[in-house]
Amino acid sequence: MSDARAINQKLRRGELPSAEEIQWFARGLADGTVTDAQAGAFAMAVCLKGLGEAGRVALTRAMRDTGHVMAWDLPGPVLDKHSTGGVGDCISLLLAPALAVCGAYVPMISGRGLGHTGGTLDKLEAIPGFKTGLSEDAFRAQVAKVKCAIVAASGDLAPADKRLYAIRDITGTVESVDLITASILSKKLAAGLEGLVLDVKTGSGAFMATLDEARVLARSLVETAKGAGCMTTALITDMSQPLATAAGNALEVIEVMETLTGTSVNTALWDLTCALGGEALALGGLAADAEDGAGRIEQALESGAAAECFGRMVAAQGGPADFVDRWPDRLPSAPVVREVPCPRSGYVQAIDTRTLGEAVVHLGGGRLRDGDKINPSVGLSDMAGIGEEIGVGVPLCLVHAADDATASAAVARVLAAYKVGGAMPEEPDLVQERIV
């Protein structure tokens, strides 16, 4: 029998508990044997002393195994992608159907908005009728038939992580790379993946603001996932500006549909979908290498096959059967739309992307408190990007709001987020590093 006090004492001394002790602690988190105080002490000790690679692998596996671990018997590889979160990051909606068209099976278990970052489930729920809470039987049937599904995690998926996540939030230990790694991967690996590509964001809208911080997290995630038996690569990508030109749930779905249908292609969304998808296809043996895979993803997008697959997924999960053809009519729109006029002429030199994300949250497009109801129609659209030349009075973006008061507050936040000056800045690279 292990003992939480002894395990925490080991950690405090900088010693690594055995794999058996870590397994016991994870089970205790899930079944309540470990108290909140003991869990808080564990999180703080890990935050201060670290676990090392072997400890991260042990904790990831242990938390994964506290709940149901899915196994698949499908005629193709089971692949997925995870992003560490950003603003205007709607890649999952493009990538899941594109991978499916290329022969992969994509059981994508996604999350809701966290802080200033948007959530994939919230975006999909802007589509009328779309259900993210599927039973396991329905989830399995859809993945087998449609080849992709994007759903919320069930309660029996890595329950130790759910408990530890809540403890981290109230003990100031959220930023621990070891705990972030185990949290992300325990849930992803419980989905029974054979290959995983990671999108680790860096910049003003990312949780890891500097390239060095992003590199540390990316290496931790890749090494730990591979140590736990899942083929994995990571791309470190730019979040010094929103990825899409829109931020907000229905507005991002509009941009996804424009890109999928070729109505108005967002180059950044297209390029990053191809880059991440190429990595995933190479991991799954569906492409010779990442470059070959990127070409296959591009073909899935260009041909319209990814759009058709997205439509099948929407219909299978309760959304309109004609969504791909009628999406402009099917998505909600905000009653107030306000321009944000640029106060001076020049080039967009820098963007505080976190502030733009917070503007969306305060408009009602995210949650200030757990349980807040989201307004799917609000947000920002037509956002100017870094390096763009702009004149006095020309809109930096459009604010979509429920009323005039929240629109005015959002205008002020947007103006505070943009730096416009005379010198043309160097535009950041979309993909900054590849970690294998």
Residue numbers annotated as active site: 80-83, 120, 168, 183, 187-188
| Long-range CB pairs of 404-413, under 8 A, 24+ apart, other chains included | 404/336, 406/362, 406/363, 406/364, 406/378, 407/336, 407/338, 407/363, 408/338, 409/359, 409/362, 410/338, 410/359, 410/362, 410/363, 410/380, 411/338, 411/340, 413/355, 413/356, 413/358, 413/359, 413/362
